[in-house]
Amino acid sequence: MSLKNLLGDWSKYRKGHEEGGFHKYEHMWGLAIDLNKCIGCNACSVACYAENNLAVVGKDKMLSNQGMHWLRIERYWDEPQLGGDDRDFQERGASFLPMMCQQCNAATCEPVCPVAATYHTPDGLNAQVYNRCIGSRYCSNNCPYRLRYFNFYSYYESSWPAPLHMQLNPDLSVRDKGVMEKCTFCVQRIRTAKDTARAENRKVIDGEFNTACAQSCPTKAITFGDMLNPDSAVSKKWKAQQVELGKAEQHKANRDLRGYRVLEGLNTDPKVLYLERVREV
């Protein structure tokens, strides 16, 4: 969000993703998550802690909703789609939903940031610039998915007592008190892959790297890749499910396909495609 955009054509900027071409994207990183395969085991979430230097805040701060889990598994007990309340027992099990930043193309978090600490990158990511963030928390307030996490405290001493600090990933920072953070789609891995590709004078190859969550997933429920590359695995999933970016409502030729985006109707244009969970009845 530049000043020129802000003053020039706000509405065009705001709707740029729908009309297309307003942003010049180099890549557009996206995900597809198959809830038929996801078992809710938490492997992705802990892998994210390991990769992204997420602070362990402890029981009390977790109770105050200050946990820093960029990727959390939500668990629901009802099944509105199947219309059942499962009477005396939870006969159809649980419904698990891995939730990470949806990297919305029309992100509600971005325009409310007073200092443009969160903005849209040419990779189609919602970037968070930690040393620009002043901690207003407007972005978190405006995120319909509740996927932004604020550092109310400095966790360096409490979360990584020596020698646990030696595990910290040097490819990204440890965030300090007063800044907002969230899933970046493992931007450090994206950066490394892009740098390597540039050094080798080639394009980034689909599958040459992965986000930590997708890499760890025992069922391979998570597919990550560049949606501008029509041959990428993730593009194929979106296409097969007839879900398109830039739409608040999908008009699928085959309405039985499982692909959907969470709270799509809010027109946030998330880049995480979910494939519905399947139950026998």
Partner 1 sequence: MSGNEINRRDFLKFMGIGGASAAALSGCDMPTTVTLEEGKEKVAAYLVPEEYVIPGVGVWFASTCQQCGAGCGVHGRVREGRLLKVEGNPDSAINWGGLCQMGQAGLQGHYNPDRLSKPLVRKNGSLVEVSWNEAWALVEEKTSAVKGDRAAWLTGSVSGHQAALLSKLQDSVGSKNHFVYEVINNRVAEAVNEAMLGEAVPRYRFDKAKAILSFGADFLGTWVSPVHFTYEYAGFRSGDRGVLITVEPKMTLTGANSDLWVAIRPGTEGVLALGIANVLLTKHQVDGSRLPAAARDAIAQYTPDKVTEITGVAGDTVVKIATYLKQRSPSLVLSGASAHDHANGYQSAAAIMMLNVLLGNVGQTIESSGGFPVKELTAKRGSSKALADFAALADQGALDVAFIYGANPVFTAPAHMKFADKLAKVHFKVALTLFADETTAMADVVLPLASPYESWGTMVAAYQPQEMTLGMQQPLMQPLYAETRSFGDVLLALLKKRNAADYQRYDDYYAYLRNAMTQLPAGLRQGKSDAEFWDTTVQKGLLKVSTTAPALKANVPDLTQKTAAAASDFPFHLVPSARLGLWDGRHANLPWLQEAPDQVSKVYWDSWAELHPKTAAQLGVKEGDFIRIESDQGAIEAQVYVFKGVHPEVVAVPMGQGHENYGRYASKRGVNPLKIVSAVTDEKTGEIATHATRVKITKTGKSSQLPRLGGSDRQAGRRLVGTVTADVFRKTEGGSNVA
Task: Report the residue number, 261 or 271, with the smaller CB distance to partner 1.
Answer: 261
**Can residue 89 be called a binding residue for partner 1 (CB under 8 A)?**
yes
Site for partner 1 in 14-43 (CB under 8 A): 35-37, 39-43
> How many Å apart are CA 208 and CA 55, to the nearest integer?
28
Of 166, 212, 167, give the one whose Cα is nearest residue 188.
212
| Region binding partner 1 by CB under 8 A among candidate stretches 11-19, 114-122, 155-163, 179-187 | 155-163
Give, as one character, the DSSP assignment of residue 79. B
**Can residue 45 be called a binding residue for partner 1 (CB under 8 A)?**
yes
| Region binding partner 1 by CB under 8 A among candidate stretches 5-13, 14-22, 127-135, 162-170 | 162-170
From 74, 108, 130, 229, residue interacting with partner 1 (rule: CB under 8 A): 74
If one counts every other C-beta atom within 10 angstroms of the C-beta of residue 193, the result is 18
**Can residue 96 be called a binding residue for partner 1 (CB under 8 A)?**
yes
From 81, 122, 177, 203, residue interacting with partner 1 (rule: CB under 8 A): 81
User: Is there a cis peptide before residue 111, judged by omega within 30 degrees of 0?
Assistant: no
Q: Which residues contact 44 (CB under 8 A, 6 or more apart)?
A: 71, 73, 98, 212, 213, 214, 216, 217, 222
**Can residue 5 be called a binding residue for partner 1 (CB under 8 A)?**
no
Site for partner 1 in 172-191 (CB under 8 A): 174
Q: Which residues contact 4 (CB under 8 A, 6 or more apart)?
A: none
| Region binding partner 1 by CB under 8 A among candidate stretches 21-29, 44-52, 100-108, 128-136 | 44-52
Task: Report the residue number, 152 or 260, with the smaller CB distance to partner 1.
Answer: 260
| Region binding partner 1 by CB under 8 A among candidate stretches 2-10, 12-20, 94-102, 106-114 | 94-102
Of 106, 128, 98, 125, give the one whose Cα is nearest residue 228.
125
Phi then psi for residue 31, to 5 deg, are -130, 155
Site for partner 1 in 236-275 (CB under 8 A): 236-237, 240, 254, 256-258, 260, 262-263, 274
**Can residue 67 be called a binding residue for partner 1 (CB under 8 A)?**
yes
| Region binding partner 1 by CB under 8 A among candidate stretches 18-26, 108-116, 134-142, 208-216 | 208-216
Helix/strand/coil for 33: strand
Site for partner 1 in 213-232 (CB under 8 A): 215-221
Q: Which strands form 222-226's sheet, in the order they lie side by side? A: 222-226, 29-34, 272-275, 259-260
